[in-house]
Amino acid sequence: MTESERDLIERACEKLCIAYARHVDFSEAEAFADTFIEEGELEVFGQKLNSRQARLKFMANRPANRKALHLVTNIHVSVLDENHAEGISYITLFRADHDGPGPVPDTLPMLAGYMEDKYVRTPAGWKFSARKASMLFMKS
């Protein structure tokens, strides 16, 4: 594998991490579910979501007035071969259930931690085969 090929894989996986956050923040359930392979596993807040249907249900159960902003940083991708990679990214989440116009008055992050990822190349592009959230800091 050339350095350019490795760089392209790393960038595709980085973009996937960013897309995941954007789709959650904007309640784009279908696009969120599509960041994973069908049987991919998402482990978050003590739940293991092992199917596309489970991920769609997870999104459907979010309050309609939920406002969220995921900040994704320090994305590190290790390319294993031309079809597999793994990585870690830091995540800071601002979240509140808030009605009405204007910004949410509470400005502190709800949590900060990291995501451990496994990526796989599919005919539709790079997807998560597994994603596990580990929270280090949570607002009480």
Q: What is the mean pLDDT of each run of 10 residues along the chain (140 residues)?
A: 97 98 97 97 95 97 94 98 98 92 84 98 98 94
Exposure of 140 in the CB half-sphere (CA atoms within 13 A): 0
Domain count for the chain, please give it: 1
Residue 85 belongs to domain spanning? 3-138
Q: Give pLDDT, residue 140.
A: 80
Q: Are 53 and 80 in contact (CB under 8 A)?
A: no
CATH number for the domain spanning 108: value is: 3.10.450.50
Hey, is 53 helix, strand or coil? helix
The pTM of this model reads 0.94
Predicted local confidence at residue 66, as pLDDT: 93
pLDDT of residue 107: 73
Exposed e or buried b for every residue in 6-18, given b needs 16+ CB within 10 A?
eeebbebbbebbe
Query: Given this model, what pLDDT does residue 102 score?
Result: 80
21 in Cβ contact with 91 (< 8 Å): yes
pLDDT of residue 75: 98
pLDDT of residue 83: 98
Give every strand in the sheet of 84-97, ordered side by side: 47-49, 36-44, 125-138, 111-122, 84-97, 66-81
Residues 24/32, Cβ–Cβ less than 8 Å: yes
